[in-house]
Structure 1
Amino acid sequence: MPHEWTRPPSETGPVEAELQLWPYRSLPKRGFAGFVGGTAALIALPLLMVLGTPVLWALLPFLAAAVAAIWWALARSYRDGEVIERLEIRPDRIRLTRRDRGRPERVWEADPYWVELRLHEGERPVPGYLTLRGAGREVELGAFLPEDERRALAEDLQRLLARIGRR
């Protein structure tokens, strides 16, 4: 699951919670190396038929370039997907921090009493678009999450905000 309560909300006492969100990875790092290695092995298999002939040297640069291109494309996908959102909820402050690779950290803060949680239906780029509005701004939360997880997250956050006394 691409989100985790690093400090789960307690049922008693002051509401303090911390949530980290990140994009889902269908291919883990170990699988990445295995996929590239398997691709290289499958590409090399037909080369056994042309061992010792000049055809091998004609095909080898193109096949090596294909493996290198697959490696580069998957590595680029991993780099572009290095996004982490961290939501900290305290009785007096709610803070959302977003870290994107190669960009400065973006921070949004508001008083949780005035924060409005909205789950937009059909009017935004994705179904179940989740936003927090407060302190004069509206920020998206977990736009990279699947729709069902955004909906479950909205329910959890709605309960937390209600405990703060907002609703």
Structure 2
Amino acid sequence: MSWAQLYMDAEIKPNRSLSERGFVILISFITLVNVASAMIFVSQGAAWVVPFLGLDVLAVVVAFIVSYRSGQIVERVQVSPSAIRVTWESPRAQRLVWESPTAFTRLTLERDEEDRVMGLRLALSGRETPVAAALSPGERGEFAEALEQAIRQARRHRG
């Protein structure tokens, strides 16, 4: 399989709008609000509320850590004259999700009432895999056009 000539080598990265500094500020604010609430509840004799407020802060921290880790996964789509390959890459590993011959692979689009691309899939012989799910509908539509163009060019190169 020749990967020397690629007609597309796209990296799709999930958007994470909260920076590390923003995360620290948000957690500090949530902690401050929970400590103030805990003081009010303790002053009224409801000491059992304090552990639950601590669990609340812990749950928010864990949710953000999980979100941050999933945001590190990069989807790579490569189109060569011989094959289309989709891999998921993280800082620790790389996993092949899809590989199929360029000549026989179809691109299917799912559109909503406003003609936005809501789903994008590669298909071959009854098998399908979603592609570019991390993109917005507008970005997904632009990516679909670029992917279709790359597939057409790769098919022409084969012939």
TM-score by length of 2: 0.69
- Structure 2, unmatched stretches of 5+, are none
Choose from 130, 141, 151 the match for 1:140: 130
- Number of the residue aligned with 2:59: 69
CA contact under 8 A between 1:89 and 1:95: conserved in structure 2? Answer: yes
- Structure 1, unmatched stretches of 5+, are 1-13
1:55 deviates by 5.4
- Following the alignment from structure 1 to structure 2, what is the Cα–Cα distance between the partners of residues 80 and 105? 14
Choose from 26, 29, 45 the match for 1:35: 26
CA contact under 8 A between 1:109 and 1:135: conserved in structure 2? Answer: no
- Number of the residue aligned with 1:18: 9
User: Aligned ranges for residues 43-82 of structure 1 at < 5 Å?
Assistant: 43-45=34-36, 60-80=50-70
When the two structures are aligned, how many residues end up with a matched partner? 149
Matched to 2:57, the amino acid is: V
CA contact under 8 A between 1:23 and 1:144: conserved in structure 2? Answer: yes
TM-score by length of 1: 0.66
User: Which one has more relative contact order, counting CA pairs under 8 Å at least 6 apart?
Assistant: 2
Instruction: Indicate the RMSD between aligned Cα atoms, in angstroms.
Output: 3.7
- Following the alignment from structure 2 to structure 1, what is the Cα–Cα distance between the partners of residues 55 and 103? 57
Give CA deviations for 1:46-73 in whole Å, capped at 9, x if unaligned: 567799x795966543432322222123
1:88 deviates by 1.5
- Number of the residue aligned with 1:164: 154
In the superposition, relative to structure 1, how do residues 61 and 107 fare at CA in structure 2: closer, same or farther (>3 Å)? closer
- Following the alignment from structure 2 to structure 1, what is the Cα–Cα distance between the partners of residues 108 and 146? 13
User: Percent identical across equivalent pairs?
Assistant: 28
1:87 deviates by 1.0
